[in-house]
A and B are shown apart, each in its own frame.
Chain A
Amino acid sequence: MSGKKSPVLNRFHVIFLTQNIMFGTGILSLPQKLSSLGYSQALFPLLFGVIACLTLWPIIWINSKYENDNLFRINEKLLGKWLGKSINLLIVAVYIIFLSSVINNYTTLIQTSALPEQSMVVPLIMLLLVLVYIVNGGITSIARFCMMTFFLIFPTIFFLRWAIEKGEVTHLFPLFNFNGKEALEAMKKGYLSMLGYELIMFYYPYIANKKKAFKYTTIGIWITVLLYFITVLVSVMYFSKWQLENVEYSVLHLLKAGELPFIERIDIFVITLWVLAILATASAYLWTAKKGLESLRNKKKSSHVYILTLVVLLFEWMPLNPGFQEKFYEINYNIYYGILGWPIVLCVVHLLKKKRVRP
């Protein structure tokens, strides 16, 4: 085992790490991603919560068999050096691309709604500098940042009250007005906003009370699910079907319904506050990618994090045409879904190996 790995994450750290890594820009466009379901999307986040808990179970199980190792080490132990390392390389690549898509999403959002007349170069560099700073503090610093972010962002839920006042509860009915194809499409697009809880595969060794890891992570998942549920519910009440489908970042329009005498545009205020959520999500992915690079090269170096950040920056600046970029990200999302199922494969390999050793 490389380096010291004293357990440092207490229960609150785990809960809020899980919660905040999931909670990125996904929520801002979730109603649009689920729009193939029309008004019946309101209950879908709850279904997502159940699926997340089901997929979490094999993750925690395989980790509990190798308490002091993260997924990168487990891969190498179970699959051998070469196959393990190749899989690890894939995971690092997927996470780095995912990270750049998160940041790309946010900068596009800022560009279109808050700073339409400004180039994004300086804000992007600033964002990445802060990101590096948080990641350099290690997983505890990320966890603390996540806690702070949660308490700073949570009050924005208050701004939904005007939309609730104006909305129509009858939109929720009929509850199951969709067919299987529509449900699958919504599932594929919408589940993206749930991703992030599986990063526990990488910070599991740092958790102080490993026996209760499943419980804490589940609490984190359900906090997020509840927030998603409220947001989608209010969106369904407030918008028409056409608006759910066609308005980008419709959640920001919910906030625009606000009527505070001293703030004209609450949405701009919230978008800028959202940088915290993006930093929380992005820092966890960068940290994981850094761990991956360490395990690939078998050494710890502070330059790793800078190299990865540069790669992210290159992704942002690469002169790709938007259509290709979108497709590229989409392929990446599909591989990412594969990573969610990967622990099941590992569980099987683990059991097979055990059987072979025993007799």
Chain B
Amino acid sequence: MCCTFTEEKAGAAMKKKIILLLTVCICLTACSSKEKKVPLEDIGMVGVMAIDYIDEDLFRLTMTIPQFSEDAKENNESFTVETDLLSKGIIEIESLSDKKVVLNQLQVILINEEFARLGQTEEIIRFLYRNSEIGNKVLIAVVKESGEKILSAKYPDKPNINFYLNDLLGPSINTAFNPNTNIHDFMYTQTNPVFDSILPYLTKKEDEIELSGIALYKAKSMIKVLTPQEGLIIQSLQNRKNLMPLYLTLNENNGEEKLLLDLLNSRVNMKSNKDLSSPKLTIHLKLEGTLVEYKGVKEGQLNTNKDISKLQNEINQKLESDILNFMEELKELQVDPVGLTENFRMYYNGDWSHKKTIDVISKLELDITVETIIFSTGTLK
């Protein structure tokens, strides 16, 4: 009894203490400094950032900030400054803007081709990778000519340049040759010796922006623009599951056939001979899909399994030669955007350097087999 009584007493005292503490806490909130809190309307959340080359020391930094005020005619504010340091540029833009500029909502970074070719992309991306305000999912793209032009142009039928670019660069089945490179991916391929980075490549058309290819890097500098078809080969060899529809032209010399395959599934198997002095890689690529459209000599004859398997063989041969040609081209350039050399690194004891990747890729012998399976040709007989 006595025990419970003292416990009750202690409980009551504790309650009093807690109430006192809470009161003090509530009162103390009044003492917190007010000037630090910026109201939401006064924060300018940068959506897209573009970097254009001027000369060795300077670059042009453009940023767009969504405009929420109803009185504004444009739904975006856009600012451009010339600077030598990214952070200095951001501060300069802040002095132009009426808002506090923050990078928390950054979605897209555009780098112009000249800047990329001179090998300065990594410095910029590394700065952003270090910044904890910025998430890792910010998409990066290389633009032909100037990023500023893309951002300042009018797109009358598009709601907002921020959303437009983000949706264009994001994953979508019909542009699945696009590597969707984000900050993490870029830093990963830049710092991993078995990879050379690839970025989507944008071109400005009249009233729209086109995702026209893939920018290929060698170490730190961009060297070439690849076609969407070549981009698709890279994606399929990297074992990406959802590939874009495959357009093929067979028998170009006699009786041309054109077809489009919707790829439903793809699988790649790679096996290396583990030998660095005469490296050999066996690649088996399996593609499954449906034949969506066909134009050519076999039109109306693709009814039996035999006909279809004949077509499958033709597709296999065509793809094998396409892939092989593309790989030969990469061998000459001494680049490895697919990461084929990882199949040799995983058996190598010691430090793997980028030089070893170049060694292996320039000597690499490839044995490629493609297996295409056409599930169906539609509901008509």
Contacts and interface: CB of A to CB of B under 8 A. Distances in A.
A170 B132 CA distance: 29
Max chain A Cβ within 10 angstroms of own Cβ: one of B36, B192, B339, B348: B192
A112 B349 contact: no
A113 B343 contact: no
Given A256-B184, A259-B137, A242 B192 contact: yes
B92 interface: no
B191 A174 contact: no
A257 B184 CA distance: 8
B231 to A, nearest CB: 18
A243 interface: yes
Contacts of B133: 116
Nearest to B343: A170
A35 to B, nearest CB: 13
Interface in A149-201: 168, 170-171, 173-174, 177
Nearest to B348: A174
B104 to A, nearest CB: 8
B188 to A, nearest CB: 5
A243 B193 CA distance: 12
Contact of A170 (B191, B346, B349, B350): B346
A242 B343 contact: no
Interface in B171-197: 184, 187-189, 191-192
A243 B346 contact: no
Given A168-B342, A170-B346, A259-B137, A117 B188 contact: no
Nearest to B241: A165
Interface string A101-114: 00000000000110
Max chain B Cβ within 10 angstroms of own Cβ: one of A113, A118, A256: A256
A240 B135 contact: no
A253 interface: yes
Interface string A92-133: 000000000000000000001100111000000000000000
A256 B137 contact: yes
B84 to A, nearest CB: 24
Interface string A244-264: 000000000100110100001
Nearest to A255: B136
B163 interface: no
B362 to A, nearest CB: 21
A253 B350 contact: no
A173 B132 contact: no
A177 B349 contact: yes
Contacts of A174: 346-349
Contact of A173 (B136, B189, B346, B350): B346
A265 interface: yes
A144 interface: no
A282 B132 CA distance: 26
A240 B191 contact: yes
Nearest to B33: A119
A173 B347 contact: yes
Contacts of A116: 132-133
Nearest to B195: A240
A166 to B, nearest CB: 8
Contacts of A112: 132
Nearest to B192: A240
Nearest to A242: B191
Contact of A264 (B135, B189, B342): B135
B187 A243 contact: yes
Nearest to B342: A170
A118 B133 CA distance: 14
B39 to A, nearest CB: 15
Nearest to B105: A264
Interface string B289-309: 000000000000000000000
Interface of B: 36, 132-133, 135-137, 184, 187-189, 191-192, 339, 342-343, 345-351
23 contacts: A112-B132, A116-B132, A116-B133, A117-B36, A168-B342, A170-B342, A170-B343, A174-B346, A174-B348, A177-B349, A177-B350, A239-B188, A240-B188, A242-B191, A243-B187, A243-B188, A243-B191, A256-B136, A256-B137, A256-B184, A257-B136, A259-B137, A264-B135
The 8 closest A-B CB pairs, nearest first, are A242-B191, A240-B192, A173-B346, A256-B136, A113-B132, A240-B191, A170-B346, A240-B188
